[in-house]
């Protein structure tokens, strides 16, 4: 549970624009006070021996720091405006769910933090500069002013980087590659075992489920609404073992749970079913479910798949009519499904150390993930020969890595549907012949 909560906390921080700039701003405050202390103590000795240190008077120091502070706040406002425009463009062209990728972009956070940190640093050093006419002892923090100038030069370089970075992250090729990378990471995290390295499927049988489970089991209802972002199955296993329960999970990451909706059903496996502490168990089970306002990829592998599908569907819309972007999405989906075809999907049944069935989950299957990846694209591209052919070519590539009959059945089903849709949606006979040829190649790969 600790790892899941840490993952949720990290996702919240990583998807926020304030954390990195706040850390950098705190660092600039610490640097400003540290350098001012060094200036007051004069640890660096006579400034004449340091050729690169600022050697002007108090008026010059104030002018330099004021110029840096004023320019930084202006550049920050401009950078913020550009960022907002990029977010609006991404939302309209690629879908609002992809805004998370822009919010997680480290480059933009570092740029914003650099500008704000330089502004804060300049203000803190400026307040410490005193001239002979201020009624106080003259004090010019030579080293601090010099570092302020260095920060200004760094900020200028960061501004150049920001212009390049902003024009890069709104390119569809960059967005697709980032979502695909996120999908690959989710596959390796959620499906670490390859086929042949997991436990045999025959060990996981529903025969041990009591026949009266659905009738006798007590539903645990959610205390709030939201998308299931993560489920701590280890926590549920501990609860089941501690109270001698069988727990059946009724939802999974990515699904929306209404307030009062059933999340699990529990059944006492002892003879004292009436004495089961339901209130305590209910509180513990609630803690095993992390709900949020939106879906995340922490345990929901369908989320990045849906993002790629959404980009493809928007590209296939009549307003954009961009089949090449859709083809690029299909290529990345085929890569992900090729890896999934080689993975050992976990069983729905979880056993304790004594081989007693304790937790029943709703597992992902390759067929469901294939439906998520191909269904909507297939339905919206039946009249586009290029996209349809690429769909069939992708299935042929995935078929090379299919290592069990269920995977091959799922791929054959989609190939049949694509063939049927294309024969009804395409107008030219030559296009239909090309589709049939690609379909025959899939049959050969599957056999």
User: What confidence score (pLDDT) does residue 276 get?
Assistant: 57
Contact 220, 281 (CB under 8 A): yes
% of the chain at pLDDT higher than 90: 56
| Centroid of chain to Cα 244 | 37
The 3-state DSSP class for residue 417 equals: helix
Q: In degrees, to the nearest 5, what angle opens at C-alpha 424 toward C-alphas 423 and 428?
A: 60
Whole-structure pTM value: 0.85
Give pLDDT tens digits for 37-46.
988 887 666 6
Q: What is the pLDDT of residues 415-438, one digit of tens each?
A: 999 999 999 988 899 999 999 999
The tens digit of pLDDT for each residue in 275-308 reads: 557 888 899 999 999 999 988 888 999 999 999 9
Comparing C-alpha atoms, which of 109, 42, 30, 32 is closest to residue 76?
109
Of 347, 353, 349, nearest to 242 (Cα)?
353
Residue listed under structure tokens 């590539």? 397
Q: Is 65 helix (H, G, I), strand (E, B) or coil?
A: helix
Q: What is the 3-state secondary structure (H, E, C) of 303-372?
A: HHHHHHHHHHHHHHCCCCCCHHHHHHHHHHHHHHHHHHCCECCCCCEEECCCCCEEEECCCCCHHHHHHH
Map out the domains of the chain as residue ranges. Answer: 16-170
* Band of residue 269 on the pLDDT scale cut at 50, 70, 90: confident
Note the pLDDT tens digit of each residue in 70-92. Answer: 999 999 888 888 888 877 877 77
Characterize 210-237 residue by residue with b for buried, 16 or more Cβ atoms within 10 angstroms of its Cβ, and e for exposed. Answer: eeeeeeebbebebeeebbbbbbbbebbb
- SS3 assignment for 128-178: CCECCCCCCCCECCHHHHHHHHHHHHHHHHHHHHHHHHHHHHCCHHHHHHH
Query: Is the pLDDT assigned to residue 47 strictly greater than 70?
Result: no
Residue 349: which of 224, 246, 216 has the closest Cα?
246
Residue 271 confidence (pLDDT)? 63
Position 202 confidence tier, pLDDT thresholds 50, 70, 90: very low
Whole-angstrom CA distances from 188 to 40, 343, 344, 387 are: 55, 9, 11, 28
Average pLDDT, rounded, for the chain: 88
* pLDDT tens-digit readout, 135-159: 677 888 888 999 999 999 999 999 9
What are 268's strand-pairing partners? Answer: 245
- Cβ–Cβ < 8 Å for 373, 386: no
pLDDT tens-digit series, residues 357-388: 999 998 899 999 999 999 999 999 999 999 99
Look-up: residue for tokens 């049944």?
A: 349
Residue 323 pLDDT more than 70?
yes
- 221, pLDDT greater than 90: yes
């Amino acid at each position: 549970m600790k790892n899941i909560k840490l993952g949720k906390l990290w996702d919240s921080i990583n998807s926020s624009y304030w954390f990195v700039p706040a850390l950098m701003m705190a660092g600039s405050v610490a640097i400003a006070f540290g350098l001012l202390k060094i200036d007051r103590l004069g640890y660096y000795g006579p400034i004449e021996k340091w050729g690169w240190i600022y050697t002007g008077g108090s008026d010059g120091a104030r002018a330099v720091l004021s110029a840096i502070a004023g320019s930084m706040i202006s550049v920050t406002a401009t950078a913020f405006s550009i960022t907002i425009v990029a977010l609006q463009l991404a939302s309209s062209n690629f879908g609002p769910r992809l805004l998370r990728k822009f919010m997680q972009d480290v480059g933009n956070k570092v740029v914003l933090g650099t500008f704000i940190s330089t502004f804060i640093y300049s203000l803190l050093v400026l307040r410490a500069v005193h001239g002979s006419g201020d009624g106080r002892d003259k004090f010019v923090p030579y080293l601090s002013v010099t570092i302020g100038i260095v920060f200004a030069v760094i900020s200028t370089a960061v501004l150049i980087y920001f212009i390049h970075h902003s024009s890069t992250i709104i390119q569809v090729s960059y967005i697709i590659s980032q979502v695909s990378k996120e999908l690959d990471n989710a596959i390796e995290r959620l499906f670490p075992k390859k086929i042949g390295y997991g436990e045999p499927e025959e060990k996981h049988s529903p025969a041990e489920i009591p026949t009266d489970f659905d009738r006798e089991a007590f539903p645990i209802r959610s205390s709030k609404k939201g998308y299931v972002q993560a489920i701590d199955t280890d926590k549920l296993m501990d609860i089941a073992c501690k109270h001698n329960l069988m727990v059946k999970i009724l939802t999974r990451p990515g699904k929306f749970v209404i307030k009062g909706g059933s999340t699990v059903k529990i059944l006492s496996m002892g003879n004292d079913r009436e004495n089961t502490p339901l209130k305590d168990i209910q509180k513990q089970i609630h803690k095993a479910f992390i709900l949020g306002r939106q879906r995340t990829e922490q345990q929901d592998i369908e989320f990045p798949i849906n993002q790629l599908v959404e980009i493809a569907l928007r590209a296939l819309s009549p307003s954009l009519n961009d089949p090449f972007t859709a083809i690029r999405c299909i290529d990345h989906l085929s890569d992900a499904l090729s890896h999934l075809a080689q993975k050992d999907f976990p069983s729905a049944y979880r056993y304790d150390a004594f081989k007693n069935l304790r937790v029943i989950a709703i597992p992902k299957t390759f067929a469901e993930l294939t439906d998520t990846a191909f269904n909507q694209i297939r339905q919206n591209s039946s009249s586009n020969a290029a996209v349809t052919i690429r769909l069939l070519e992708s299935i042929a590539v995935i078929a090379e890595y299919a290592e069990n009959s269920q995977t091959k059945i799922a791929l054959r089903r989609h190939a049949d549907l694509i063939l049927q849709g294309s024969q009804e949606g395409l107008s030219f006979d030559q296009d239909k012949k090309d589709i049939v040829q690609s379909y025959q190649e899939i049959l050969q790969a599957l056999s």
